[in-house]
């Protein structure tokens, strides 16, 4: 079973920063895009940011200007730099890798922003 290695979640105060990372194994070839989703308690899982081949990026309106998604040169690790965090950013954050063979998901990492 393919596993994505997520890290970087934690507890931070309002206005603070966190950096999430997600490493995909080399066994996943032909990665087309890497994405971050989040899910707050009682809510649906929503797309936060995505980065495709060619470094095209897109963000949800709620995080534009505060979050930055990036990939390493090898293209198998994706990062989410989160600045100016707000209590409403509290959620479990999931990494998703899109490949020709299907989508692969991480186990999720908790981000909690205290008021």
Q: What pLDDT, in 10s, does the model give residues 13-25? A: 999 999 999 999 9
- The whole-number pLDDT of residue 75 equals 81
Please tell me the predicted confidence (pLDDT) of residue 74: 84
CA 94 to chain centre: 6
Do the Cβ atoms of 80 and 90 come closer than 8 Å? Answer: no
Q: Report the half-sphere exposure of 37 (CA within 13 A, side-chain side).
A: 18
Rounded mean pLDDT of 80-100?
97
Q: What is the pLDDT of residue 77?
A: 95
Q: Please report where in the chains the tokens 């954050």 appear, as a residue.
A: 93
What integer best gives the mean pLDDT of the chain?
94
Q: What are phi and psi of 11, to 5 degrees?
A: -105, 130
Question: pLDDT digit string (tens) for 51-67?
Answer: 998 779 999 999 999 99
8 A C-beta contact, residue 16 and residue 30: no
| pLDDT on residue 62 | 97
Share of the chain above pLDDT 90, in %: 84
Three-state helix/strand/coil letters over 77-93: EEEEEECCCCHHHCEEE
For residue 44, pLDDT over 90 is answered with yes
């Amino acid at each position: 079973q393919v596993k994505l290695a997520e890290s970087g979640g934690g507890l931070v105060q309002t206005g603070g920063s966190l950096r999430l990372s997600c490493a995909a194994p080399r066994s996943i070839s032909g990665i087309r895009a890497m994405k971050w989703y989040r899910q707050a308690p009682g809510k649906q899982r929503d797309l936060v940011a995505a980065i495709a081949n060619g470094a095209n990026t897109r963000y949800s309106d709620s995080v534009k200007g505060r979050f930055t998604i990036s990939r390493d040169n090898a293209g198998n690790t994706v990062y989410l730099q989160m600045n100016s965090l707000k209590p409403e950013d509290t959620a479990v954050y999931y990494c998703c890798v899109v490949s020709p063979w299907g989508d692969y998901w991480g186990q999720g990492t908790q981000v909690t922003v205290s008021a």
